[in-house]
A and B are shown apart, each in its own frame.
Chain A
Amino acid sequence: MNQYLLAVYDVEGQAAGVPSTAEEMQAFMGRVIALEEEMDRAGAFAFGGALHGPDAATVVSGGTGLDKVTTDGPFVEAKEHIGGFYIINAEDLDEALSWANKVVEAINHPIEVRPFRATGRVEAGD
């Protein structure tokens, strides 16, 4: 079994597909809950979450002075940013893509699918 990251992309200023009324929000939540249950039953769901926007991001990097270590804002200033993600278990790319399709159907956002090179804790001698 392999693991894949399904990164959900938000595009700034693009409101298409974003629930705007209480009814739409309810339907949206219903779709997401049903999908996550389906993932769980299939043993595909490893982790999932929604992120705060890039305004809430802080970058930590190496620098010479203390003030250079942390900076306010996202690492890459872009119109597109990751709004949330799933980590799923899948046999191969086709299986991962079919979950990605279902996520796109449920939330109407583009998804980037990336295979994990390694997961879990790094162990000595590996």
Chain B
Amino acid sequence: MDDIERTFREAHGQAVATLTRLFGDITLAEDAVQDAFVSALRRWPRDGVPDNPAGWIVATARNRAVDVVRRGRRGRELTEQLATDRLRVESATGPDDSGPMSDDQLRLIFTCCHPAIRVEHQVALTLRLIAGLTPAEVASAFLVSEATMLKRLVRAKSKVKAAHISYRVPDDAELPGRLRAVLSVLYLIYNAGADDVDRCDLRVEAIRLTRGLVTLLPGEPEAVGLLALMLLSDARMPSRGNGTHVVLLKDQNRSLWDRSLISTGQALVLACMRRRRLGPFQLQAAIQALHCAAPRYEDTDWSAIVRFYDRLLAVMPTAVVALNRAVAVAETDGPEAALALLDGVAGELDGYPLLHASRGSMLERLGRPHEAVQAYDRAAALARTDADISFLTHRSSHVTVDLDGSTGALS
């Protein structure tokens, strides 16, 4: 991404959020910011990039929006009112662009992630309006066409407008629940970037926005937990096979892990522990911190990990958490105990490839090759990425080698 694109992406989020606060209309804000970008493309190469590019975009877009509103019906009263109460408090250059997120963006992200909007629309709005991705970029993040994404964005924005979803940070009573929705959206964005090496900029955006939330809402430990979780996951990214093939945790080359990200993530986890308000994201981060703390796979403190999974399951009793806990239990209590736990969630997770892959691994360790092959094959049939499919097919065929009496590569 070149400098001007990066500047535009960062300025877009800030400018749309500020204009939305001033004019109360997302579509007007977006159009005005788009016009400001067009002016910037014309003027910056000639006059040079201004010292505060985001401020320049906000100021230009604001003038543009005032013109649009003035032309409309009742526009004169509205602009006069805006001029007296709100525009005056803005500095001449607009807000500075030093922080990862402005107060206006914080307000707008709660709008984008309002529970009255369906989750995939929340993600799309957040990527477009807060992260500043172009509709084409948002579309590719979702693996849908640009036309489909444009329609989805229009529908989501018209719901915001028609239902009068507010632009504000929720009050203290609502904040925990509403923040959870925002954090979940950011984690979905992060994971979309972690699953696909071509979309790694989604990880960068998710981390940038989560960092912004942590700065603006320092009293919310779950935001800190999510940031730690993302950093610890990012630290291990270089050892995960670059998206071309799967490398299991036990086979990862730990010297490739990013030590500085790990120590930042672990420090955040420790700070969370001291606050003693552990929610789901903090507990998941704590588990990752324990994995990162082990110099070798054999050194992993599995009983501590299982204890954190117990607590996670208590606050987030989902089948996926139960599955992950079962995989950890295999290391403390053996594959038979783990298999029994996996079978307990098999009905609910039948369409989930990781369930079958984990069952395959336990069955293989228990010396039940026929069932292991079946489980791996089922996992391969459900898997979505080429890397996962080839990994699972390989595992399945190596179990078959065992059947012939040869020594299996995985044993």
**A residues touching B (Cβ–Cβ < 8 Å)?**
2, 90-94, 97, 113, 115, 117
Q: A93-B116, A97-B116 are in contact. Are A115 and B166 (CB under 8 A)?
A: no
> B356 at interface (Cβ–Cβ under 8 A)?
no
> B170 at interface (Cβ–Cβ under 8 A)?
yes
A85 to B165 alpha-carbon distance, docked (Å): 21
Contact B164 A115 (CB under 8 A): yes
Question: Which residues in A have their C-beta under 8 angstroms from that of B166?
Answer: 91-94
Instruction: Tell me which of A2, A91, A93 has the highest count of chain B C-beta atoms within 10 A of its own C-beta.
Output: A93
Looking at the assembled complex, report how far the CB atom of A96 sits from the nearest CB atom of chain B, in whole angstroms.
8
Contact A117 B162 (CB under 8 A): yes
**B residues touching A (Cβ–Cβ < 8 Å)?**
114, 116, 162-166, 170, 174
A89 to B69 alpha-carbon distance, docked (Å): 27
Q: A94-B170, A94-B174 are in contact. Are A2 and B164 (CB under 8 A)?
A: yes
Nearest 10 A/B pairs, CB to CB = A92-B166, A92-B164, A115-B163, A93-B163, A93-B165, A2-B164, A115-B162, A93-B164, A94-B166, A93-B116
A18 to B260 alpha-carbon distance, docked (Å): 60
Looking at the assembled complex, report how far the CB atom of A64 sits from the nearest CB atom of chain B, in whole angstroms.
36
Question: Which residues in B have their C-beta under 8 angstroms from that of A2?
Answer: 164
A92 to B171 alpha-carbon distance, docked (Å): 14
Question: Which residues in B have their C-beta under 8 angstroms from that of A92?
Answer: 164-166
A115 to B174 alpha-carbon distance, docked (Å): 21
Looking at the assembled complex, report how far the CB atom of B160 sits from the nearest CB atom of chain A, in whole angstroms.
9
A2 to B162 alpha-carbon distance, docked (Å): 10
Looking at the assembled complex, report how far the CB atom of B20 sits from the nearest CB atom of chain A, in whole angstroms.
14
Question: Which residues in A have their C-beta under 8 angstroms from that of B162?
Answer: 115, 117
Question: Can you offer 11 A-B residue contacts whose CB atoms are under 8 A?
Answer: A90-B164, A91-B166, A93-B164, A93-B165, A94-B166, A94-B174, A97-B116, A115-B162, A115-B163, A115-B164, A117-B162
A93 to B166 alpha-carbon distance, docked (Å): 7
Instruction: Tell me which of B114, B162, B163 has the highest count of chain A C-beta atoms within 10 A of its own C-beta.
Output: B163
Q: Residue on B with the closest CB to A90? A: B164
A2 to B164 alpha-carbon distance, docked (Å): 8
Question: Which residues in A have their C-beta under 8 angstroms from that of B174?
Answer: 94
A56 to B165 alpha-carbon distance, docked (Å): 36
Question: Which residues in A have their C-beta under 8 angstroms from that of B165?
Answer: 92-94
A49 to B170 alpha-carbon distance, docked (Å): 31
Question: Which residues in B have their C-beta under 8 angstroms from that of A90?
Answer: 164
A64 to B114 alpha-carbon distance, docked (Å): 47
Q: Residue on A with the closest CB to B114? A: A93
A113 to B116 alpha-carbon distance, docked (Å): 10
Q: Residue on B with the closest CB to A115? A: B163
Question: Which residues in A have their C-beta under 8 angstroms from that of B114?
Answer: 93
Q: Residue on A with the closest CB to B166? A: A92
Looking at the assembled complex, report how far the CB atom of A18 sits from the nearest CB atom of chain B, in whole angstroms.
28
Q: A92-B165, A93-B165 are in contact. List 15 more A-B contacts (CB 8 A).
A: A90-B164, A91-B166, A92-B164, A92-B166, A93-B116, A93-B164, A93-B166, A94-B165, A94-B170, A97-B116, A113-B163, A115-B162, A115-B163, A115-B164, A117-B162
A90 to B165 alpha-carbon distance, docked (Å): 11
Q: Residue on A with the closest CB to B174? A: A94
Q: Residue on B with the closest CB to A114? A: B163
A98 to B114 alpha-carbon distance, docked (Å): 14
Question: Which residues in A have their C-beta under 8 angstroms from that of B170?
Answer: 94
A110 to B165 alpha-carbon distance, docked (Å): 20
Looking at the assembled complex, report how far the CB atom of A102 sits from the nearest CB atom of chain B, in whole angstroms.
14
A92 to B164 alpha-carbon distance, docked (Å): 5
Q: Residue on A with the closest CB to B173? A: A98
Looking at the assembled complex, report how far the CB atom of B110 sits from the nearest CB atom of chain A, in whole angstroms.
10
A73 to B266 alpha-carbon distance, docked (Å): 65
Question: Which residues in A have their C-beta under 8 angstroms from that of B116?
Answer: 93, 97
